[in-house]
Amino acid sequence: MSSLNLFVTCSRGIEKLLATELGTLGGAAIEARNGGVACTATQEQAYRICLWSRLASRVLLPLDRFEIGDADALHARALEVDWTQLFDAGSTFAVEVAGRSTALSHTHYAGLRVKDAIVDRFRAAGQARPNVDTDHPDIRIHLHLQREYATLSLDLAGDSLHRRGYRRDGAEAPLKENLACAILFHAGWPQMAQAGGALFDPMCGSGTLLIEGALIAADIAPGLQRSRWGFEHWRQHRPELWQDLRAEAEQRRRDGLAHWQGSISGSDQDEHAISAARANIRRAGLERLIRVDVADALRVEPPQPGPGLLVTNPPYGERLGSESELIKLYSLLGVHLKKRFGGWQAAVFTSRDDLGPRLGLRADAIHTLYNGPLACKLLCFALHAQPRADEPAGKADGGEDFANRLRKNLRHLRKWARRSEVDNYRVYDADLPDYAFAIDLYATPDLHAHVQEYAAPKSIEPAKAERRLRLALAQLQEVLEIPAAQIHYKLRQSQKGSSQYRRQAESGSFHQVREHGCLLQVNFDDYLDTGLFLDHRPMRLRIQREAKGKRFLNLFCYTGAATVHAAVGGARQTVSVDLSNTYLDWTKQNLALNGFRGWDYEHPPQPGESLSMHALIRADCLEWLRQQAAAPNAQRHDLIFLDPPTFSNSKKMDATLDVQRDHAELIRHCSALLADGGVLYFSTNRRGFKLDRDAMPGLSCEDITAQTLDADFQRPRPAHQCWRITCD
């Protein structure tokens, strides 16, 4: 066979790259099409394409192309192919179907009809029936459906060429090897590798980009480690020709490994990812060429001054945790690249069009590549030389006004916090109109910054808001001198419907903080709030000081911080009521941290029944209060804390709650549960809230807001309001 007509498939978006590559491998009559490249090649060149193509997915040898009728017509046409001339009856085979057709909508059935035709052809020739092996067939037949036409082909490689052999079966691979090569080709790595440049991936995951980069640099055939090939059971296979090509590739590998002098390295903050990368590198035989370490991408330094290529496919999904973390990562990554990688080239591969601008870098080239069905962008940058070492970071990067205000606030509030024995406090709250953030500091004992960005009004251009966030995060990291992993960013905006209860992430990561002798758990990533409202700190301390020997009721208890303060203060009984199992579990854990047992809330007591020492009750607070207030023998409490949400329409509730509309009823019911001389503290953060004193006759309401705001919440004054309420 002097010449073969081939169709070499690839991921969408890299057809032109593949066409160029096939030309270097000897292909002729090259024509790029959607999803692949048609060409002609000799058998030797076809083998070479299988062995050396870094971009191809499959190398198909078309056998017949015809107009589709129905399934019976497909069987009849497939029966005309002399399959006995392609492979022996002792070889296993499988039929793979791709594409779609209105005439044959059920692709599995179409594959079965081709399989029947192959078997029938062998039987008609008086030969044994070849067996089907869908997992590891000796021969793979490819049926491609395209509207009214079908093409039957022999898959010469036998399996997708992205399976190089160094990755274990079943291992997670968000980036296929041939797509990784397309990224490297577009980023100019082959030319840079020839010049002895450096390759670095700061979020390398399992190391795919690094390994493919090393294979390119050391002139190693990507298919050299594969143990199975479809053409080995093809009756026209020429083993001696194949062995010669393999021997040539082995020699080129030895020469490449011996002579490569460049630098290839990577890092990832996930230890499991680095462990997987090292295993893949070892199986690829590239330990001498590639080094990977556990490190934070936003703190790493260039492995060498340059020139070099930084290429990365930032993590997403569970490895990253949340949308907020994704925004933070891109925002800080752009700043870090400009600051530390001046003189380098950079290529960032992302599936999100909206994240590229958050880098704050102007792309020199943008390429659209497909990761499966997902359209992704490859952003290529030339990073300018870094600023002088003696130039202040604020001057070089912008945001110096924000940094100066942050430093000023820190100088003042750190002194106050030490005097007041406060470990967790708000250090900034939209002090500057252009930087609308609330920033809280927590000592765990490592310092963590919880950053909430107030949603910008629609009049602010998104690009401007993104730039402010980028500068603020970078300056915050610089001023506090903490790693990015200890900065936790959230976007705070109006919450509607179920979104106000939705988790932000699923990290399950809790930290312990101390507040006036109490240990409390906080979570910086999974929820909009951390589990500790810092503006209630003085109120919790007041409860702690007044609780000794008293019965304390905490309504809408959230994570039970006020309950813990009451227990630590010597309350003889606490009752915490909330509708959320999550918050009640959190309350139980907070109590346990301080040596108290919170009793199970699965079976709440009926009105009038005695309560355990630290009772946790799962109930709609509004309905529970109505029942308790109406019960003649309901238990009375000496101290009640009522801090309802501004608005709630949880699906677990029978009705909505609006604090402005419902507060008078809530307070009246609470007053009915007060013991003689008891005190009710009512708090709300609803902006514009007005206490309806006329709807609460017989109650004395003292505004104590000023007494319940510490120094960190007096600039600017928040919406927080608080009253001390007693019965006349």
Domain boundaries, the chain: 4-155, 177-218+262-382, 393-493, 524-727
pLDDT tens profile 68-120: 888 899 999 999 999 999 999 999 999 999 988 877 878 889 999 999 999 99
Q: Give the residue from 57, 36, 22 showing the smallest Cα distance to 157.
A: 57
d(C-alpha 109, C-alpha 372), whole Å: 24
d(C-alpha 354, C-alpha 357), whole Å: 7
Across all residues in the chain, what is the average pLDDT? 91
What is the per-residue pLDDT for 319? 56
Q: Quick one: fold of 4-155?
A: VC0802-like (3.30.2130)
Token readout for 368 is 């659209």
Domains 393-493 and 524-727 belong to one CATH topology = no
Residue 475 has pLDDT above 90, yes or no: yes
Residue 671 has pLDDT above 90, yes or no: yes
Average the pLDDT over 315-331 and give the result. 78
Contact yes or no for 384/396 (Cβ under 8 A): no
Q: How confident is the model at residue 447 (pLDDT cuts 50, 70, 90)?
A: very high
Residue 325 has pLDDT above 90, yes or no: no
Contact yes or no for 195/270 (Cβ under 8 A): no
CA angle 489, 490, 493 (to 5 degrees): 155
Residue 502 has pLDDT above 60, yes or no: no
Q: Are strands 721-727 and 674-684 parallel, antiparallel or unpaired?
A: antiparallel
Average the pLDDT over 363-392 and give the result. 81
Q: How confident is the model at residue 501 (pLDDT cuts 50, 70, 90)?
A: very low
Q: How confident is the model at residue 496 (pLDDT cuts 50, 70, 90)?
A: very low
d(C-alpha 660, C-alpha 167), whole Å: 60
Q: Give the residue from 33, 76, 45, 250 showing the smallest Cα distance to 156.
A: 45
Q: How confident is the model at residue 389 (pLDDT cuts 50, 70, 90)?
A: very low
Tell me, rounded to whole angstroms, the distance of Cα 8 from its chain centroid. 34
Q: How confident is the model at residue 499 (pLDDT cuts 50, 70, 90)?
A: very low
Residue 173 has pLDDT above 90, yes or no: no
pTM: 0.85
Q: In the chain, helix, strand, coil percent, each to 5?
A: 35, 25, 40
The CATH architecture annotation of domain 393-493 reads: 2-Layer Sandwich (3.30)
Average the pLDDT over 473-482 and give the result. 95
What is the per-residue pLDDT for 391? 41
What is the per-residue pLDDT for 307? 86
What is the per-residue pLDDT for 396? 43
Average the pLDDT over 472-495 and give the result. 88
Adjacent-strand bridge partners of 216: none
The CATH superfamily holding the domain 177-218+262-382 is Vaccinia Virus protein VP39 (3.40.50.150)
pLDDT tens profile 262-307: 999 999 999 999 999 999 999 999 999 999 999 999 999 999 887 8
d(C-alpha 82, C-alpha 464), whole Å: 66
The dotted CATH code for 524-727 is 3.40.50.150
Residue 170 has pLDDT above 80, yes or no: no
Average the pLDDT over 661-684 and give the result. 96
305 preceded by cis ω (within 30°)? no
Token readout for 333 is 């990554």
pLDDT tens profile 176-223: 999 999 999 999 999 999 999 999 999 999 999 999 999 999 999 999
End-to-end CA distance of the chain: 106
What is the per-residue pLDDT for 585? 95
Helix orientation angle between 400-420 and 462-480, rounded to the nearest 10 degrees: 50
Average the pLDDT over 609-632 and give the result. 89
Dihedral angle over CA of 693, 697, 700, 706, nearest 10:
-10
Q: How confident is the model at residue 315 (pLDDT cuts 50, 70, 90)?
A: confident
Token readout for 647 is 């608005």
Average the pLDDT over 683-706 and give the result. 95
What is the per-residue pLDDT for 477? 94
Residue 604 has pLDDT above 90, yes or no: no
Residue 659: Cβ within 10 Å count: 19
Average the pLDDT over 425-451 and give the result. 95
- Residues above pLDDT 90, as percent of the chain: 79
Sole residue written with tokens 């490249």 = 37
607 preceded by cis ω (within 30°)? no
Contact yes or no for 530/558 (Cβ under 8 A): no
d(C-alpha 549, C-alpha 570), whole Å: 6
